[in-house]
Every structure is written in C-alpha cells, then in structure tokens.
Amino acid sequence: MALKGLIRVTGLCVYHMKYTSVVTSNRALATTVSCRYSCTKLPAEIQQQSQENMTLVSNLEIMGVDITMARMRQPGVLKRMITHEESLAKFLLSKGASKQTIANIVSRYPRAITRTHEHLHKKWEIWQSILKTDSDILKIVERSPESFFRSENIENLEENIIFLSSLGLTPKDLSRLLAKAPRTFSNRTELNKQIVDFLKDVYLCLGGETPQDFVRHIISKNIFLLIRSTKRLKANIDFLQSALQLTDRELLVFIQGHGAEILDLCHNYIKKNFANAQQKLLSIGCSEAEITRCIISCPSMLYLSHLNFVTKIDILVEAGINSHQILERPRVLDVSVDTIKGRIKDLADIDYDYQALGISILELSKSRFEARFKKLRDSK
C-alpha cells in the first residue's frame, strides 16, 4: 500500500522524527505525577510563594488578576523582577479591551506581562495586516490569550506568513487561519513546513500530480490540519483507507473532499466513533457495504459523539423512518437532536408519511422547512 511506503520515503526527515519524539513523551507521561494542583499547601509551595515578587503580586491584585490562577498556571512569572503589566494594560485598553478583560487575560496567561510594549505593538501590527480591525484581534486575544502571547519570536511569525502565502493561500485563507487556528502562526515555521511536506508526500504516494495545489486545497478545507501532529494525520489517513477499503485513488478523492473535515480528529475518537456508528447501523439492519458507502459520502457523521449518534438514529427509527432511508440521506444526522425532535413532532401533527414523501424535509434550512411545513399543513 502506498501509505506504508510513505514511512520509508519520508522516514528520514518528517515521520520518523515525529514518531520518536512522541514515544519518549508518552513514556515520561506515565511516570510523572504532578502535585501542582493539590489544595493543601506543601512546604515547598509555601517556600515557592515566599520567593514571589510581592510588589508585582500586589500590582496584579490591584489590576484584578486572579493570583491563585496565575500562580497555578505560570508560577515563575510571579517571581520576576522586571515585568510590563502596566504597559500591557495600557496597550490593551487603547485597543478597546476593558479592565476586566485584561485581568482575565493575565490570570489565564500570566506570561503576557513579560512582553514589552515594542513587542506588542509590532505583533499587533502584523496581526492587523491579516485581520484588519482591532476588534477582530481583540476577540482572539480574549478567547485564547495563549495564542497571542505564547511566543516572543516576531521573525518566526513573519516567516510563517511568507511561507503560508507561498503555498498559494489567499489573504482570506490567512485571515481564517489566524482567526480560527492562531497556533499555526506561533508554531515554528519549520514545523509548518514539516506538516506541509508530509501532506505533499501523502499526496504523491497516492499518485497525485500537483502537490502544491493539493496542500493549498486541503488546508483551506480544514484549517486545523497545520496544528495537528503528522503522527495523528497519518494515523487517521491510514485508518480511513483501511476501514473504508479505499484504493489510493479513492482515498485521494476522499481526503480532498469531505474527508478533509475529519482528518484532524483525535485518532482514538475517530476509531471509536467509526466502530460505534458501524455497530449501531448494523443493529438496525444495514449491511457493512452500505455503511461504508454512507460514511464515505458523509464522513462528518464520525464527528458525532456516540450518545449523539445513537440518539439521532433512535429518534428517526421511532418516528417510523427505516434504516435505508437514513443511509440514503445521511446528512439528516447533521441536524441537531432538538431540531430533529421538533420537526418530527410538527410532522406527526399533520400525519406526514416518510415512506411516501421521504425524509429530506428534515434536513432543510429553518426557513425552507417552515415554508414547506406551512404548505403541507394548509393543503390538509
């Protein structure tokens, strides 16, 4: 199989490196026990607190920062002799943040106060070249302070923008990337390059001929790919090929289409959900081949948690819809449980016949459903 060969092709650079680093970190994980969150103070903690810069701590308290939270997250910051909390606050205020927001940001990511005014100014300017307005940037900083403040490396940020643009991503793609997956820009450019190389290698191994177009296409389809490990992406691609029994050519079509949406899922989650969905659909009388075809046509169903998936299927079956109707229109699973329930109830009131009229009415947009429902009811 082509993907198996990939390990050999890219093994020396991308894939092998990733793999070994993960193995060591997992091993370490198993033997490390953190006591950082213990409620009772140990002597070591008391000693640690005593080393804190008391002026800084009281400044932060006045700003409204949650010191306990800050201490829990980045204890080292509270010991620093030189910090820039005042200029940080002034800077963010000038961008439209409230005092409460600023306190919240520092509580969640204390290292923010180690950034100088010059740094903040420069970085904001660069972000603004992509996102345009202050409020767009502020929204992200509020949502995830870490993504804005974690790295001090401006050159790397600039390099990332150049690199991502060189892939053919449009300004619109870049702004979506920065708004939704800001980590893409604080990760080292080398890492982004590795992932892009990995994607190109996958594509070439599967027989593709225009790797640059492929990468641009797949990243704009799923903007979270660059913040996932190649280990995860590879595991998911391998799994989907074997679980869905796709040829290289079919896999290529799949991951360039709807398949791209699910490549970033946690690998165990995708495996678990696949097994659960298969089991549930088998239990209502679907064949394995039908299920496979259905998942290929609508892979987003693997996004649903087990409970959510089972609940939806049960509601549909109880309403008198048969398994084949569901498989023919799997996008009905895209609709929320509440919406399905509400519509089934409405339709029961007018004795809607799913066998005769089909189930596509359940997937309409809200306004289209209402219009259709009204027409059906009036014609009764």
* Of residues 147-176, those binding DNA (CB under 7 A): 147, 150-153, 156, 176
Burial group, residue 222, by CB count within 10 angstroms (0-12, 13-18, 19+): middle
Q: Which stretch binds DNA (CB under 7 A): 4-12, 138-146, 236-244, 285-293?
A: 138-146
Q: Within 334-363, which residues bind DNA (CB under 7 A)?
A: 334-339, 358, 360-361, 363
Site pattern 361..380 for DNA (x: CB under 7 A)? x-x-xxxx---x--x-----
Contact call for residue 257 and DNA (CB under 7 A): yes
Q: Could you tell me which of 268, 273, 178, 272 has the C-alpha nearest to residue 226?
A: 178
Provide, rounded to whole angstroms, the least separation between the CB of residue 267 and DNA: 6
Provide, rounded to whole angstroms, the least separation between the CB of residue 368 and DNA: 6
Q: Within 178-207, which residues bind DNA (CB under 7 A)?
A: 179-183, 186-188, 190-191
- Which residue in 111, 123, 216, 234 binds DNA (CB under 7 A)? 111
Contact call for residue 144 and DNA (CB under 7 A): yes
User: What does DSSP assign to residue 42?
Assistant: P
Q: Within 270-299, which residues bind DNA (CB under 7 A)?
A: none
Contact call for residue 269 and DNA (CB under 7 A): yes
Token pair 């896999």 in the structure block, residue? 251
Contact call for residue 265 and DNA (CB under 7 A): yes
d(CA 102, CA 89): 6
Cβ nearer to DNA, comparing 121 with 188: 188
Cβ nearer to DNA, comparing 140 with 317: 140
- Which residue in 2, 7, 66, 80 binds DNA (CB under 7 A)? 80
Contact call for residue 68 and DNA (CB under 7 A): no
Contact call for residue 34 and DNA (CB under 7 A): yes
Contact call for residue 23 and DNA (CB under 7 A): no
Contacts of 112 (CB under 8 A, 6+ apart): 88, 105, 106, 145, 148, 149
Provide, rounded to whole angstroms, the least separation between the CB of residue 203 and DNA: 18
Residues in the interface with DNA (CB under 7 A) total 85
- Which residue in 210, 247, 268, 355 binds DNA (CB under 7 A)? 268
d(CA 103, CA 72): 15
d(CA 185, CA 167): 14
Provide, rounded to whole angstroms, the least separation between the CB of residue 336 and DNA: 4
- Which residue in 59, 73, 90, 197 binds DNA (CB under 7 A)? 73
The CA–CA distances, whole Å, from 208 to 243, 252, 257 equal 21, 8, 14
C-beta atoms surrounding 52 within 10 Å: 17
The amino acid that residue 286 corresponds to is C
DSSP character string of 204-230: HHTT-S-HHHHHHHHHHH-TTGGGS-H
Q: Within 89-108, which residues bind DNA (CB under 7 A)?
A: 108
Token pair 């870049």 in the structure block, residue? 174
- Counting other chains too, the contacts that 22-28 makes at CB distance below 8 Å and 24 or more residues apart are 22/229, 22/231
Rg (the chain; Cα; Å): 26
